[in-house]
Structure 1
Amino acid sequence: MTDTRTASYQPPDVQAGLPPLEVSLSRVGVTGVEKVIRIRQDGAEQLFSARLECFVDLGPRQKGAHMSRFEEVVNDAIGEVILGEATFRAETLAQHVAERVRERQGARRAEVTIEARYPEHKPAPVSGITTQEIYTLYGSAVASERGTRRLIGVAAQGMTACPCAQQLIEGSSRERLLADGFSDDEILRIFDHVPVATHNQRGLGTLHIGCPEDSDDDIDARTLLDIVEGSMSSEIYELMKRSDEGAVVEKAHRRPRFVEDCVREMVRGVIERFPHLRDDSFFSARQENLETIHQHNVDAERFGLLGELRRELETGEHSPAHATRRAWLDGAA
């Protein structure tokens, strides 16, 4: 005989209970959520390997968040967003997940970050041979009662050639050529035809643009990738013929750039190619160069509001305080 009292027993909702100490928590959620996203574009299926992080704020009288709801919302949002899109946009998916997580968890604020890696095919510079390059897309969104702020980002690799070492080698080469009887005009012609040697680095460039809650700006990730790759001395390719290798090395040595130059070129690219973006949009550019003649790496970064950058370029006045990514996402900048 079945005990109906046992069969009808429903365990309490522990997460909905009161915590032993009624203190709110800034962020509660899940990290390391991995998904393979498949969409169809240009007549072929494209795979994106994505990692997600989802967080909500937790009120002082709520013991815990409903962790299973994060996974449910992620799956639902992927189905809604990806099936209706011809091109994958990490920030769009992040926005949908953040808004649904906030609603499902009953939170005042929800934050979602997505990192997606995907292959893209492009031709080598001289031979035209098709090479597969791996790029990274970033999308972040913070949903609150004010609306949803989105952050769009990309990461790409390239090559930089050191201007300082090149100048040193050019100086010593000039002395040897003069001692060997070459005139100043002849030396200039030689340097014009033969790029001077220097040491080089593999560069890692990252660029983010942030859109305010009431903004409908459409930012193409491919344009951001073009800015990042173009900021370095040369693009790099995974597969090249000898002619391609020669072209890449010569291009890099004709455009020597410090790590700081790369960040400033990203600034230039954003200002010139996105003149329509509002002053309260966020900007972040970072460059890391993996040194070859040192054991350390070098790093440079600029972040802040686009209005700050524009005023600095127009007036020459430097603002010592730059709006940070965290402050902008939280609406404090």
Structure 2
Amino acid sequence: MSDSSTVSYQGPDVQAQLPPLEISLSRVGVTGVEKVIRIRQDGTEQLYYARLECYVDLGPQQKGAHMSRFEEVVNEAIGEVILGEATFRAETLAQHVAERVRERQGARRAEVTITARYPEHKPAPVSGINTQEIYTLFGSAVASERGTRRLVGVAAAGMTACPCAQQLVQGASRERLLADGFSEAEVERIFEHVPVATHNQRGLGTLHIGLPEHSDVDIDARVLLEIVENSMSSEIYELMKRSDEGAVVEKAHRRPRFVEDCVREMVRGVVERFGHLGDDTFFSAHQKNLETIHQHNVDAERFGLLGEVRRELATGEHSPTHVSRRAWLDGTA
């Protein structure tokens, strides 16, 4: 006698049936999939709190995607990719998930995006006190008939000091010092030794590198983080002593930068640190500054192919078009 509480009926594969309207869909999938990923590093365990999005294109003769297969593939790929690895590469996991999802769903195209939050420890600039910082790691992949394109990225916070306000303050200070009897040479010496006040912004920099199908290069996310943090006026730290606070404020005011400067510095860092990457490599640099003396915030961005920006730097000629992330991932540019 069977247990009446057990459901044993296997109905038809509804997802594989014809839809009432035979039209293809650009993206169908699951979002908000949360996983905790554990990596063993130097005898310790590193945790990554990851959120995944998985999509496939859907043909006109398929009613729906098999949603349970997304979760199955994610779990399998985590086990295959992560076990035994010393470093978590979000783009590698995204690649494995995308390729398996595309195969399981019988799709022409599959896209996976991973966003992972994780801690890093770094010393404060003067005291050396150990402080924990939280960073964001991104990995994306698009698997299609021509292969898989990968995208790796990071996001980090920092601070910027406004150059415009600093020049205004310096100009007014110069007038007062000259009126008080200081010579021009003495005023210049004062400004060399004393950073001039300005207003600050808390900034969020994001940098992505996209690798085409034929590339077998691995990008070290720590290098991307260095580029992002160095692009701003100063790094920031969660825990600091007084000496550290003074050093951070002085460094920022000696390196005033607009939001646009931060993006250009990120681009400079990519060109200098990744000279071995091909011209068909994609990059995206984005900076958001949270204003302190305005109600609004400010944004700047540059994206495109490394070949585009290399030609700009070599010839001085502005590239008329910049390849977008969407166009690059889809291979339409």
1:62 aligns with 2:70: no
Per-residue deviation, 1:84? 2.9
The one-character-per-residue Cα deviations of 1:45-99 (angstroms, maximum 9, x if unpaired) are 0100000000000000000000000000000000001103110000000000000
Query: Using a 3 Å threshold, how does the CA distance of structure 1 residues 8 and 219 change in structure 2: closer, same or farther?
Result: closer
Residue aligning to 2:246: 246
Name the structure 1 match of 2:197.
Answer: 197
**Against the structure 1 CA distance between its residues 9 and 201, is the aligned structure 2 distance closer, same or farther, given a 3 Å change threshold?**
closer
Question: Which residue number in structure 2 is paired with residue 92 of structure 1?
Answer: 92
Q: Is the 8 A contact 2:309 2:319 kept in 1?
A: no
Aligned to 2:174: 174
Q: Give the distance between the partners of 2:314 and 2:320, measured in 1 at CA.
A: 16
- Counterpart CA distance in 2 for 1:10 and 1:234 is 61
* Residue aligned with 1:210, SS: strand
Letter in 2 for 1:290: L
Please give the secondary structure, in 2, of the residue aligned with 1:99: helix
Q: Is the 8 A contact 2:212 2:281 kept in 1?
A: yes
Helix, strand or coil for the counterpart of 1:283? strand
- C-alpha spacing 1:66/1:193, structure 2 compared with 1 (3 Å): same
Separation in 2, partners of 1:256, 1:42: 39
Deviation of residue 9 (structure 1)?
A: 5.4
Distance in 2 of aligned mates of 1:85 and 1:306? 30
Q: What is the match of residue 20 of structure 1?
A: 20
* 1:56 to 1:178, Cα distance in 2 relative to 1, 3 A: same
Q: Distance in 2 between matches of 1:128 and 1:86?
A: 26
Structure 1 counterpart of 2:38, one-letter code: R
Q: How does 1:1-333 map to 2 (within 5 A)?
A: 10-333=10-333
Count the aligned residue pairs.
329
CA–CA separation in structure 1 for the residues paired with 2:42 and 2:9: 54
Moved over 4 A (4+): none
* Cα distance, 1:10 vs structure 2: 3.2
Structure 1 runs not aligned, ≥5 long: none
Structure 2 stretches lacking a partner, 5+ long: none
CA RMSD after TM alignment: 1.1
Query: What is the letter of the counterpart of residue 64 of structure 1?
Result: G
Q: Deviations over 1:143-166 (max 9, x none)?
A: 001000000000000010000000
TM-score by length of 2: 0.97
1:9 & 1:292 partners in 2: Cα distance?
62
> In structure 2, do the counterparts of structure 1 residues 202 and 110 end up closer, same or farther at CA, with 3 Å as the change threshold?
same
Aligned residue for 1:36, secondary structure, equals: strand
Aligned residue type for 2:125: P
* Whole-angstrom distance in 2 between the partners of 1:298 and 1:224: 22
2:274 partner letter: F
Q: SS in structure 1 opposite 2:103? A: helix
Identity of aligned residues (%): 87
State the shift of 1:30 in Å: 0.2
Q: Post-superposition shift, 1:8?
A: 8.2
